[in-house]
Every structure is written in C-alpha cells, then in structure tokens.
Amino acid sequence: MSKEPSEDTKFLNEKCEKQKQPELEEDADHLCGFWLFKGPRLQRFASEKIYVVLYGITGCLIAMAFAYFNGTLTTLEKRFRIPSKTSAIISTGNDISTTLSAGFLGYYAGRGHRPRWIAFGQGIVALFCLMMILPHVLYGPGKDGLKLTREYVEMENVTEAENRKLCNKHEDECLGNVVVSWAPIICLFIAQFIGGIGCSLFFTLGLTYMDDNTTRSKTPALLSWSAFLRMLGPAAGFYLSSLCLDFYIRPDLHPLIQKEDPRWLGAWWLGWIVLFFILLISAVVIYMFPKELPSARERRLKSTETNKVQSLAELSFQDMLICIKRLLRNKVYVYNNIASLLYFFGYMPYWMFMPKYIETQYKQSASKATMATGTFGLGFSAAGVLLSGFVISRYKPSARAMAAWNGIVDLLTVAGLIGYVFIGCDGSDSATAMSPYNACSSACHCEYVPFAPICGADNVTYISPCHAGCSSKQQNELGIMEYSDCKCISNSTVVSQPLIAKEGPCPVDCSQPFYTFIAVMCFLKFVGSSGRTSNVLLALRCVADEDKSFALGFGNMVLSLLCFIPSPNFFGWLIDSFCLVWGKDCSSKGNCWLYDTKSWRYSMNLISASCIFCASFWNFGVWYHAKHLKIFDEEAEQKPRELEVLATAAQKKEASQ
C-alpha cells in the first residue's frame, strides 16, 4: 500500500507546477506589436537576443547623432561665428537635461511600458536632429560662405569688398551690416537640451529592461555586446560628418577655395536629415516590444522574490538619505567614482575638440580630421572593450587586479598625453607670425578686415592683404587673385620683382607629425577602453544589491555635475585664450581663425595629464581597499532553481520512506 505524500511535499509540488505553467490568458503587455502591426509572426521576435541587438543598434544611432555634432562643431563655429567657450556651453545642454530628468523619468517611466517610453525617447532624439537643421533653414549658408563661390562673384560686384582687404590709409570702420545673432546659438542649445531628455529615457530604462528580461548568467555577455554596438555609433557619426563636410555648405554652388582652406564651410546640416529618418524608424521598431518578454514572464512566475523586488522599488525619501550615507561610507565606491571623475574631466576635451585640435595643429581639412577621429580612434576603442571583456570572462581576475589595471591605464594615458605635447608641426607653430599686431601694417587700419589669408613670396601666410601691407591687386590667367606692392613681405627672397602674394594660405606639410599623432591616439584609445569593463564591474560589485541601481544613478549625477558640464566649459575657455585672430565685427569677437598652436598644445595636454595622473592615485586606493571584494559570484545563478531542488529532495525522501 503506497503512502500518500506529506503536506510539505504537496505544497512544494503544487508551487513548482504553478511556476512551470504560464498563465493561459495573454494580454497586450506581453504581445509584440501595436495597432495593425501585430500578429503571431511577430511574437517570435520578442526574445532576449533580438532586444539586445536592437538596443545596441539604437544606442549606436543615438551615439552617432552626438558624435556627428562634435564632428561638425568647427564648421558650426565658423558659420555662426561662435567661440569655443560658447560651443562648449551648447554641448553641455544634453548633460544638464540628463542630470535634471534622469531620476524623475527613471522613477515614473520605469513603472510603465518601458519599451514605449524608450521609443518616445528616441522620438525626442529625432526631434533634436530636426532642430539642429533649423538654423540652416532659417539663416541659410551665410554671406561668408556664398562670397567664396563662383556664382556669387559673377552675380555681385565684389570690387568694394576686395578693396577693403587692401592697405587703407584712412581709419577703417566696422561692417555695420554684419550682425551676429544669438538665435542660432539658442536654437542649438535647446536642441541639445531636448536630446538629453531622450538619452536619459533610453539609457535609464533600456538597461533595466534588459537586466529584468534576461537571466543573470547571460547578462554580462549581452551587456558587453550591446556596449560594443553602441561604441560603433561615434565612429559612424564621425564618418558621416566627414562625408558631409566634403560637400560645400551649398552643394549646388562651385567654391573658389579648396577643402584645406580654413575658410571652407562644409555641408554640416546634411547628415541631420539622414539621422532624423533613421532614428524615427528605430523608434517604431522598439515601440513594438512588449512590456515584458515572454521568457522573462515565465521566470517571474517561477520566482519567489517578486514581492521583495517590488518592496525594494518603493523607497521613501528617508531611505534614500540612508542609502546615500551608506554609499559615502563605502571607500571603494567613493574612490572609484573620484577616479572616474578626474579621468573623464581630463579626457573630455579630446572627445569634444579632437577634430578641431587636428585641424588646427596639423592643418588638415575638417573632413579628414573627423575621419581620423572616428574611424581610426574609436575603432581601437571598440577593440579594447571586446578584448578586455574576453580576458575578464576567461580568466576572472580579482577585484584588486582590476583596480591595479585601472591605475596602470591611467599612467599609460598620462605618458601618451605628455607625448602629444612633443608631436607638433613646425609649419603650424610658425603661423604665429600671422599675428595682427605688427608695426608694418599698423598704418593700414586692418582691425575690421575679414580673415582672407594670402601666401607671400617669402612663403609666409598673412591674415589678409591688408595685414601684408598690399596696396594693389590683379587676377592672373588662372582666376587666382594676386596682390602686389606688399610692404610687409620680406624682400630677402624676392629681388628685382614686385613683392607679391597669392590668395590662400601657404601650403604646409604636417603629414609626418599627423600620422605620428594618429598612432599615439589609437594606442591611447585602445588602452583607455580596456579599463571600462573593469571600472563598471567594480562599481557594481562594491555596493549591496539593494543599493546598486541608486548607486549607479547617483554616480552618474555626480559625474554630470562635476565633470561633463564644467570640463567642456573650462577647456573651451582655455582654447579661446590662445586665439590670435578673431572674426571681429561690430557686435562681438565672433569665432577664432588663428590660434597659438604651441601654447594650446602644451597647456591642454599637460592639464589633462595632471588630472588623469591624480586619478591613478584614487585607483590605487581602490586597489588597497578591494581586498575582500568579490567580482564573480556563482551562487546567484542557482536561486531560481531552489524550489525545484527542494521539491525533488522531498519526493525522494517520501519515496525512501
């Protein structure tokens, strides 16, 4: 006669059966698609892998949009006469809105249909792209861009404008019809501010949706692949900006200058149209995902920790203050965040101003500078992330080993930045001879003469014919303007001929230092990115599970307030302080046309190196205090099976009796 199972065995068996059987009724929250775009065929796409791929591609597109802005920043400065410190303020608009909205949106939108909120965020980023085109729609290419085209010269009488470039014995007055409007600057800042809200929705909700809808064993691999896909975005953005800047700001016109001329204005607005439509399409795709993936739903029904998770989500303000105090007493957490803050503060100018740096220091075109920054540099960054992820997954280093590697990465970065100091171009550094403050042209009254570089017979570039003291001009058989009777041009190299100069800057060969700089930059990108994975793992493992989400959010808020907002503004001001020639007009200084490249190179690189060198000490502080910190814990993977194991054990016990 068989024994009936005990009450404990019945309870465990019933509980396991309920967890294995998903609910029969499916509602809209668990179905893929919307409106007419739904059906059984779409349900197979509601999986973890499909979401991770689409999430990575979406992140790639968002990063692509902001990288495109950085790639076209120098052209925007020239077109709207914006100094670097003002462009830095514009770029921090997205960080300001992210800081203000991340906590609010994470709390309220996180309780709703997260994929649809993510799609809404993408729509906002698409609106950001549309608003970036608005200044071009309202103000066009500008007179500075049009007057350098063949069509403008043929249609307009440019004799008076050309005469203004020559040496004038009478005191010159500012061009009253040249007015710098603040409207484009305000429009660009608002666009950045709006874009930051969309980014906040994407990153705040996208990661939590991924974490909640994947198994713990798969999460690290899926996160690394999604991060890799997102890192392709900056490379694609810089590449797109390079292609667009190859076209003139009015592609239908024929420019009279070459791309290497500093006055070249590329079609900065063209890429925003492409990005707008791509982001809209991706928003529609993400919108189709269900509130919860079917596989995650089954795991949730099996889990016994649902109530616990829900109770942890409902924190009071007092609980939050207690959590902050707990985090501030955590030395590993505090030291790791300070190290990150100092590192990013020092490295921010290379992310934002790198194309401008290459253009100015090595006399490269805007297109070539953005291509070098994106394709080569960020490609090595992606390789560093993948390799470091593979090494960590394969060899499972300790927390102290990861912290030590982060400190070594800082020191290698410092060495590379000091190397930047000595990688200069003599032809670029000697351009300080173009300084407008010289006794020779002081009687020509060149204060308000527009920037129009000419190459003298002495192979020296001058700011304008006026600054070279030229009083005559003529056009040669090739259509190039030549200037003669230039009293400021040295006559040591030109005997028995008029002291002449040709339109355009003198050719400068900076190819050797440029390629050396690219090699060092790629090395630094690779080394720097290899420390990202270890830095994130330390940040995740040094706090309790219940503090993890808030710890990451609090750390990002501190980084935005103390790094991402002030760092671009500080370095923008620093770069402007080395300007020699401003696009001066009646209302403002405008943008800078000529820099003291040597002083800029020394100051920016040494200040950045100092910040990152200080960061290395804090990373070694993390190494000291991370003695007992566990990075890899296999116990968490077994929790979903605990009930099934207990039920099986109870059955065996009953059978043995």
Please state which of the ranges 146-150, 277-281, 549-553, 564-568 shows the lowest mean pLDDT: 549-553
As separate numbers, helices (DSSP H) first and strands (DSSP E) second, the chain gives 28, 9
CA distance 156 to 162: 12
Least confident among 89-103, 152-166, 362-376 = 152-166
Q: Give pLDDT, residue 318.
A: 73
Q: Between 434 and 150, where is the model more confident?
A: 150
Distances (CA, A) of 573 to 46, 568, 644: 49, 8, 63
- What per-residue confidence (pLDDT) applies to 640? 42
Q: Are 431 and 240 in contact (CB under 8 A)?
A: no
**Cα 268 to Cα 274: distance, rounded to the nearest angstrom:** 12
| pLDDT bracket for residue 162 (50, 70, 90) | low
Strands of the 481-484 sheet, one edge to the other = 461-462, 454-456, 501-503, 481-484, 472-475
**Structure token pair of residue 406:** 């982060």
Mean pLDDT of 422-432: 77
- The pair of three-digit structure tokens given for residue 103, joined into one six-digit string: 């906590």
- Which has more pLDDT, 644 or 350? 350
Look at residue 437 and tell me whether its pLDDT is greater than 50.
yes
Phi, psi for 138 (deg, rounded to 5): -80, -35
**Do 125 and 65 touch, CB atoms closer than 8 A?**
yes
For 215-259, write each residue's pLDDT tens digit: 655 655 666 677 777 778 888 888 899 899 989 999 888 888 888
Alpha carbon distance 411, 407 (integer Å): 6
Q: How confident is the model at residue 594 (pLDDT cuts 50, 70, 90)?
A: confident
Length, in residues, of the chain: 657
DSSP 2: P
The band of 338, judged by pLDDT with boundaries at 50, 70 and 90, is: very high
pLDDT in tens, 176-214: 444 457 889 999 999 999 998 888 888 777 776 776 776
- The mean per-residue pLDDT over the stretch 331-357 comes to 90
Q: Quote the pLDDT of residue 466.
A: 84
pLDDT of residue 371: 82
406 versus 547: the higher-pLDDT residue is 406
Q: How much of the chain, in percent, has pLDDT values that exceed 90?
A: 21
- CA-to-CA separations, 423 to 1, 176, 228, 599, in angstroms, rounded: 91, 42, 31, 13
Residue 612 is predicted with a pLDDT of 95
Nearest Cα to Cα of residue 169 among 483, 444, 466:
444
Contact 129, 65 (CB under 8 A): yes
Number of alpha carbons in the 13 Å side-chain half-sphere of residue 451: 24
Ranked by mean pLDDT, which of 113-127, 419-433, 449-463 comes out on top?
Answer: 113-127
pTM of the full structure: 0.75
For residue 168, the model assigns a pLDDT of 66
The reported pLDDT for the residue numbered 381 is 83
Mean predicted confidence (pLDDT) in 261-290: 89
Comparing 629 with 296, which gets the higher pLDDT? 629
Alpha-carbon distance of 414 to 346, in angstroms, equals 10
Choose the weakest-confidence range: 299-303, 346-350, 510-514: 299-303
The DSSP bridge partners found for residue 320 are none
What pLDDT was estimated at residue 176? 46
What is the structure's pLDDT at 646? Answer: 42
DSSP strand E in 367-451: where? none
The pLDDT value given to residue 496: 45
Given a cut of 50, is residue 98 above it in pLDDT? yes
Token pair for residue 235? 């490379």
The pLDDT of residue 19 is 46
Please calculate the CA angle 547-548-553 and round it to the nearest 5 degrees. 100
Q: For residue 585, what pLDDT band results from cuts at 50, 70 and 90? A: low
- Between 216-220, 493-497, 630-634, the lowest mean confidence (pLDDT) is in 493-497
Residue 68 has a pLDDT of 92
Task: DSSP for 547-566, please give it.
Answer: GHHHHHHHHHHHHIIIIITH
pLDDT of residue 311: 42
Q: Using pLDDT thresholds of 50, 70 and 90, give the confidence band for residue 124.
A: very high
Taking the CA atoms of 436, 441, 442 and 445 in sequence, report the sign of the dihedral they define.
Answer: negative
pLDDT of residue 613: 96
Q: How confident is the model at residue 609 (pLDDT cuts 50, 70, 90)?
A: very high
Parallel, antiparallel, or unpaired: how do β-strands 579-582 and 481-484 relate? unpaired
CB-side neighbour CA atoms (13 Å) of 373: 31
* Least-confidence region, from 84-88, 311-315, 339-343, 435-439: 311-315
Where are any strands of DSSP class E within 402-520? Answer: 454-456, 461-462, 472-475, 481-484, 501-503
According to DSSP H, which parts of 2-47 are helical?
A: 7-20, 40-43
- Is it the case that residue 94 has pLDDT exceeding 60? yes
pLDDT of residue 308: 43
**How far is it, in rounded angstroms, from Cα 396 to Cα 632?**
7
Average confidence (pLDDT) over 401-423: 93
Query: What pairs with residue 312 in β-bridges?
Result: none
Q: How confident is the model at residue 166 (pLDDT cuts 50, 70, 90)?
A: confident
pLDDT tens string 507-540 = 888 889 999 999 999 999 899 888 877 887 788 7
Strand, helix or coil at 214?
coil
Alpha carbons within 13 A on the beta-carbon side of 611: 20
Residue linked to tokens 């040094």:
542
Q: Which residue reads 């403050």 in tokens?
A: 437
Tell me which of 310 and 316 has the higher pLDDT. 316
Average pLDDT value over all residues in the chain: 78
